[in-house]
Structure formats: C-alpha cells, structure tokens
Structure 1
Amino acid sequence: MPEKTSKGSAGGSSRRGWAGRGLPGDADRLIPGLLTAAVALAGAFAVHAMVPVLPAMTGAVALGLLAANLPGTAAWISGRARPGLDFAGKHLMRGGIVLLGLKVSVVDILDLGWLAMVVVTGVVLLSFAGTYALCRLFRLPSPTALLVATGFSICGASAIGAMAAVRRIRHADTVLPVALVTLCGTMAIGLLPLLMHPLRLSPLAFGAWTGASVHDVGQVVATAQSAGTAALGIAVVVKLTRVLLLAPVVAVAGMHHRAKADARQHVPVPLIPLFVAGFVAMVALRSTGWLPPGVLDAGAGLQDILLGAALFGLGSAVRIRTLLHTGARALLAALAAWLLIALLGLAAALLITP
C-alpha cells in the first residue's frame, strides 16, 4: 500500500510539474490566458490598421504592459490568465521563430554583394560585443546582458527567445530585455526619419541604415517606409541578413553552454534547440523559390499571430513599479547600446550604398 501511495503521489507531482511549466497537459489552465492574448492581439492589429506606423508587435507588447498594470485587469493577468500567457510567451514564441525563416531568402541576401554581407556581419558582431560590454559596465547580470546583446544586435524579441532557450535562461528573465528592445526599437521609428535630411542620406543609405540598426523586422519596415519603396527594399534585405545570423550566433552560444555543462558533469544540452533548426529549415525552403506567394503570405500571417501572442504574454509579465525600481541601470545601458548600434549601422550604410 505505501508503494502505491508513493507512486500515485509521484504521478500527481509529475502532472503538476508539467502543468507548472506551461505545457499543454492541462488545457483548461491555458485557455483563459490564450483567449486573453487572442483578444489583445486583435486589438493590436486594429491599432496597427488605424496607425500603420506603429507595428502590431510593438502594440502587443504595449497592451500586455497596460493589462498587467491597470487596476481593472492586473488581477486577471496575474491570476487565471497567467499559465496561458506564460505558455504563449515561451512556446508560441518558438513557433514564430520557426516561421520567421520563411521571410529570409539566401538568394536575396547574396544579391547585396559580398562587401555588404561582410559589413553587416561585422556590425552584428561589434553590436553584440559592444552591447554586452555596456550592460556589464552598468552592472547588469550576465544572463540579462547576453539577452539584451542578442536582441539588439540581431532581431529583437525573437532572438531573445532563441538565446534564452539555448542558454536555459528562465522565462521570467526575458521580460526586461524584451521591454528594452521594444522601447528602443519604437524610439527608432520616430527618431531615425527625422535624421535623414540633416545627415544628407539618400533613400538607399537611409534604408540600409535602418536595416542595419533597428531591432525588430516590423520596426524596420515602419521606419524605412517613410523614405519610399527603394529605402524599404534595401532595409528589409539588410535586416534579414542580420536575422540569418541568428542560427550561427545561437549555435556558438549552445556550444559554449554545452561545454560548461559537460565540465560540471551535468547532462549535456542540445547544440541548438529544435525550433532554431526549424528556422534554418524554413530559410532553406524559402531560398529554393518553390513556395508560391500565397503560402509565404499565410506563413507571414501565422508568424505575426504567434509572435504577437507571445509578445503580449511577455509584456503582461512586466510590472511598472518593479521595472522602475530595478530597471534604471538597464535602461541607461540599453540607450547607450542603441546609440552604439545606430552609429555602427550608419557607418555600414555609408559603406555599402553609393
């Protein structure tokens, strides 16, 4: 009898463990949060339709932050909706990263030319190293510095989610980096177009600058489209060159983490997560040219839904009071990193455009 009781207890503990990690073993716990994210995402898309300059993904983060801090919704967000929102922030983010690969064509990137590819790669590496160093200079913890550096230098919240997975960084520790990358990317939408004429940049140079320095793909589009279609075209290709570097950067981080785990005689961790391998597979599939426009459009739409729901989930974990209390140094580090990346991106733009 004691053995049966022990097994039953262990089974119950196991089930509670799976549910506690936000996996779909207990769907009724996830549904309230997922429905909340769906309603909020519809609102973010509606705002984007009315104000096109504001990306829907940025709106999703903002709505999550508001929902978590307004008296009328905070209790729901932190209570019944929390398991589903945590699930969205972790697992839907990974699905969105896989589909992000459908936007990246190696053929388009090769059309930039080898000089541009080398320059953009240099910007990513210098941005990563410089942002990490600045964050450590401001005494931010190493995991936070790593996530901020990844998000700022590559592709915003998507890159933060990928790096957090491969380095086994807690989901809660991704909240501040996502908030910072969203804030600085939103600043770029308003500020960079104002600097185009004072800096005497051509539309091509402005587009390349935007693609090389703005964090999220949606923010790049919102910023570059103010200078016309030529600026938008080169901005997207330069940005997607940065996105393509997500896989090798995460792979290197995975090798480093696995080496440390092996040295401590822990269970070896995967070189790269399965969803990053899925991202690479989608890049390869897009690069074949086999997929019709309708499939690519559907993939882009589904990616926006998954990432938007994930970003609402992450935004809903931000408490303004805590952020103001603990995030002052992080905000200063992020602003310094944002300036560094803007300068590096400007130098790259002047090198790769006529």
Structure 2
Amino acid sequence: MPAIDRIRYRQYLPGIAVALAVTTLAMIIAPGLPPLSPLLITMLTGIAWRNLFPVPEQLMPGDAIVERPILRLGIVLLGLQIAAGDIFSLGWIALIAIVSAVTITFTVTMAVGDRLGVDRRLRMLIACGFSICGAAAVAGAKSVTDADDDDTATAVALVVIFGTIMIPLGPALTVLFGMDAETAGLFIGLTTHEVAQVVAAGGIVGASALAVAIVVKLGRVLLLAPVMATLGFINREELAGPSRERSPLVPYFVLGFIACVVIRSLNLLPPPLLNAATFVQTAALAMAMFALGLNVHLRSIAKLGPRPLVLGAVATATIIAVGLVTAAATTHLAG
C-alpha cells in the first residue's frame, strides 16, 4: 500500500477505535440496565461528550466512517434476525395488523407533523422510528434522507421517552382489556417502539406473550426495507444537483437487508454464525449511534420547542389505537 494511502487510512483509526471502545463498554453494561439497549447507551454517551467536554478533531474522520458505512452494515445484518416463515405463521390478521400499524402510524405522523409545523426531515425520522423499529429505523431514515444529526438525536430521544412509557402502559392495557397471552403479545409487538422495550414489556406479561411480541416486532422490522426504499426514491427525486444522478434508485444497503432476510428465511447459515452476525449487527449500530451522538448539539434541539414531543405523543396514540383495534378483532374472531 502506498505511503499516502496509509496516511489517509490512519486518520480514521482514532474515531473508529473510540467508538468501538464505547460500544464494548455499552454492550457489557446494557444487560444490567433494562430497558436501555447498547444503541441508546452509546448515543447518550456521545451526546454527553459533545455537550459537556471538548471533542478532539482527530476523532472526526473516523466518526464519519462509523456514522455511514458501519451504520449501513448494521442495518444489513439486521435482516438476519428475520425469518419470513415466522412472520407468516402469525396468521392473516397479524400480518394485516403489522402492515396497518406501520402504514397508518407513518401516514398520520407525517400529516400531523405537517400541521404542527415540524420540519419535513424530522417528521420522516419520527414517523419511521415510531412506526417501524425505533432507533435503528431512525438511523436508517437518516441514511437515505438529508436529515441532520440534531434531528436524528431528537427522534431517538422521543423513541426512548415514549417507548419507555409503553413498558408499563402496554401490559396495563392488556389487563384492562382482558387480552389473553397471545393477543397481549400481538398488542405489545405492534405498539412498542424498540426491540429491547418489547422484550421488557412482553416479559412483564409472560413468556407466551413475549414469544409472540418478538415475532410481531420483527414483522414490523421487515417493513424497514420497503419504507427505506420509498424514502430513498423520494429523496432522490427531490434533491437537486449532481448527486441526484448518482444516487441509486434503491439504496444498496436496503438490497443487502433484503438479501439477509432471504438467507435467514432459507436457513442458509448455522446458528453459531447467526449469533455472531447478531453480535456484529448490534455492535455496528451501537458504534453508529455513538458517532451520531457525538455530533449533536443540545442547544439546537432545544430550539425545536415542544412540537416534536407532541408529535411523538400523537404517533404513540395512533399505534396504540391500531393495536387495540387488532386485539378486539382477534378476540372477536377467536370467540
């Protein structure tokens, strides 16, 4: 390798090394801090560092690498968690409910956000995070739109706030409406934002509900591909300039995500390899969240005012409404 290339690549090492170190620590302590995931811990660490202490410029080149290519690697590997057969085994009511929850929540969030005057980019991030799979969906949406890091941090913060509220609220609603274990799992999987939050809420109800909730949640994650492809296409059409011609019709990482879903669905990888891929996927997304957090200025977020918080509440209420309708339909048909 020529000396000039070695020098160029060497500039990325400090940022990547720090992100990896923070991620390693987060993955060690996360199991003891439910419902916080390594992704949320690393992002909060990055935000705290940026706003409380100086950030060395030497970290910035590596930070850019972590924030984009490594992020996309994590989203691609997320597909290996999803077996299409498990999703389809839920039955037609659950499948319709999954598509409806994502579609209705996304559409209502975008429409209400427009009425509230929330910036279009932030609306997209909030709509993706609340309708699909929390922080990973927010990061994926950032990757295919022109959203900035402050918008991303705001959307992730809202996911944390309302997803945490859903941990006690979801199980409470299942008791209030007299849902059986399977219906309760369906409701929690449909309405809770982060996978870690789904595990926490489902675990409160019981093992049977948790098993259903996780599969339903992964069904929502599966819709990450068409939503990201659609947002990428919209952004490609709306952005002006030379970059518009170079951007792919469907982002390459979305194709990779779909390929990984196919690989998992066909059982082409042995369990040890799947476990290793899950570990790498979590680490990659956690590193990316740290990089995003390291570029967040809290003063900029504070300037947004209460409107994003109101939008988050509307999005959560919308997906809860879809979940309750689904639970009622399931109970009626079962009776």
* TM-score of the two chains, using structure 1 as the length reference: 0.83
The residue aligned with 2:22 is 40
In structure 2, relative to structure 1, the CA distance for the partners of 1:230 and 1:169 (3 Å cut) is same
Contact 1:89 1:313 in 2 (8 A): yes
The 5 A counterparts of 1:219-234 are 219-234=197-212
Tell me the SS of whatever aligns to 1:289. coil
Distance change >3 Å, CA 27–CA 181, structure 1 → 2: farther
Greater displacement, 157-166 / 328-337: 157-166
Give the counterpart letter for 1:184 in structure 2: F
Q: Is the 8 A contact 2:233 2:249 kept in 1?
A: yes
Among residues 100, 109, 120, which one is paired with 1:142 in the alignment?
120
Structure 2 letter corresponding to 1:269? S
Cα distance between partner residues in 2 of 1:275 and 1:128? 21
Q: State the 1:342 CA deviation.
A: 2.1
Partner of 1:114: 92
Deviations 1:52-108, CA, capped at 9 Å, x for gaps: 4432222222222222233xxx202x6332332333222221111000000111110
Distance in 2 (alpha carbons) for counterparts of 1:144 and 1:90: 18
Picking from 46, 49, 54, the partner of 1:64 is: 46
Q: Is the contact between residue 60 and residue 309 of structure 1 (CA under 8 Å) also seen in structure 2?
A: yes
SS at match of 1:272: coil
Secondary structure in 1 matching 2:175: coil
- Residues 263 and 29 (structure 1), Cα distance of their counterparts in 2 relative to 1, 3 Å cut: closer
In structure 2, relative to structure 1, the CA distance for the partners of 1:62 and 1:268 (3 Å cut) is closer
Letter in 2 for 1:135: G
Q: Are the structure 2 counterparts of residues 149 and 323 from structure 1 closer, same or farther at C-alpha, using a change threshold of 3 Å?
A: same
| 94-103 vs 320-329, greater mean Cα deviation | 320-329
* Aligned residue among 297, 300, 304 for 1:326: 304
Whichever residue aligns with residue 100 of structure 1, its letter is: L
Measured in 1, the distance between the counterparts of 2:91 and 2:170 equals 25
Q: Is the Cα contact below 8 Å between 1:166 and 1:253 reproduced in 2? A: yes
For 1:264 and 1:194, locate their aligned partners in 2 and report how far apart those are by CA, in whole Å: 52
Is the contact between residue 176 and residue 318 of structure 1 (CA under 8 Å) also seen in structure 2? Answer: no
Structure 1 residue 168, shift from structure 2 partner = 4.4
Q: Which moved more, 1:176-185 or 1:299-308?
A: 176-185
Alignment correspondent of 1:11: none
1:216 aligns with 2:194: yes
Structure 1 segment 1-354 matched on structure 2, within 5 A: 26-70=8-52, 74-76=53-55, 79-170=57-148, 173-260=151-238, 267=245, 269-352=247-330, 354=334
Supply the AA of the counterpart residue of 1:40.
V
Q: How many Å separate the matches in 2 of 1:63 and 1:107?
A: 38
| Runs of 5+ unmatched residues, structure 2 | none
Letter in 2 for 1:140: V
SS in 2 for 1:351: helix
What SS class does the counterpart of residue 282 from structure 2 fall into?
helix
Change (3 A) 1:291 1:208: same
Query: Does the C-alpha gap of structure 1 residues 258 and 38 become closer, same or farther in structure 2, counting only changes over 3 Å?
Result: closer
Measure the CA separation in 2 of the matches of 1:261 and 1:53: 38
Q: Is the 8 A contact 1:120 1:238 kept in 2?
A: yes
Contact 1:165/1:273 (8 A) holds in 2: no
Of 297-306 and 316-325, deviating more is 316-325
> Is the CA contact 2:97–2:322 (under 8 Å) kept in the aligned structure 1?
no
Contact 2:109 2:126 in 1 (8 A): yes
Distance 1:346 1:101 in 2: 28
**CA 1:37–1:259 in 2, change beyond 3 Å: closer, same or farther?**
closer
| C-alpha distance 295-337 of structure 1, shift in aligned 2 (>3 A) | same
Query: In structure 2, what is the equivalent of residue 6 of structure 1?
Result: none
Q: Is the alpha carbon distance of 1:295 and 1:349 closer, same or farther for their aligned partners in structure 2, counting shifts above 3 Å?
A: farther
TM-score under structure 2 length normalisation: 0.87
CA-based RMSD: 2.8
- d(CA) in 2 for partners of 1:52, 1:190: 13
Shift of 1:128: 0.5
The residue type equivalent to 1:56 in the other structure is P
